[in-house]
Amino acid sequence: MLYRSKAPFRLGIAGGGTDVSPYSDIYGGAILNVTVNLYAHATIRPLTDGKVRFVHVNENIVDEFDAAGQLPLDGHLLLQRGIYNSIVSKYNNGQPLSLELTTSMDVPSGSGLGTSSTLVVAILGAYTEWLKLPLGKYDIAHYAYEIERIYLQMAGGKQDQYAATFGGVNFMEFLEDDKVIVNPLRISYDILQEWAMNTVLFYTKQQRVSGHIIAEQVENVKKKNESLEAMHKVKEEAFRMKNCLLREELWELGKALNVSWANKKKMARHISNAFIDHIYETAMRNGALGGKISGAGGGGFMFFYCPGNACYNVAEALMKMKIGDVQPFEFSKKGLTTWTVKQQ
CATH code for the domain in which residue 321 is found: 3.30.70.890
Give me the half-sphere count of Cα atoms (radius 13 Å) on the Cβ side of residue 339: 7
Q: Verify that 295 and 337 share a domain, yes or no.
A: no
Asked if residue 6 and residue 111 are part of one domain, the reply reads yes
- What local confidence, expressed as pLDDT, does residue 157 receive? 86
| Identity of the amino acid at 152 | L
Residue 6 has pLDDT above 80, yes or no: yes
What are 32's strand-pairing partners?
14, 171
Q: pLDDT for 274-303, tens place per residue?
A: 889 999 999 999 999 999 988 766 778 999
Predicted confidence band of residue 213 (pLDDT cuts 50, 70, 90): low
Q: Greater confidence, 88 or 25? A: 88
Q: Other C-beta atoms within 10 Å of 202: how many? A: 24
Q: From the candidates 49, 106, 139, 160, which is the catalytic residue?
A: 160
| Count of structural domains, the chain | 2
In whole angstroms, give the CA distance from residue 103 to residue 59.
Answer: 10
The verdict on 118 and 203 lying in the same domain is no
- Known catalytic membership, residue 160: yes
pLDDT over 80 (residue 223): no
155 and 223 fall within a common domain: no
Letter string b/e over residues 145-157, b meaning 16 or more CB atoms within 10 A of that residue's CB: bbbbbeebebbbb
Burial class (CB in 10 A: 0-12, 13-18, 19+), 207: middle
Question: Average of pLDDT values for 30-42?
Answer: 97
Round to whole Å and give the CA distance between 257 and 302.
Answer: 12
Residues 310 and 286: beta-carbon distance below 8 Å: yes
Same domain? For 201 and 161 the reply is no
Residue-range definition of the domain harbouring residue 152: 2-186+332-341
According to the model, what pLDDT value does residue 297 have?
A: 67
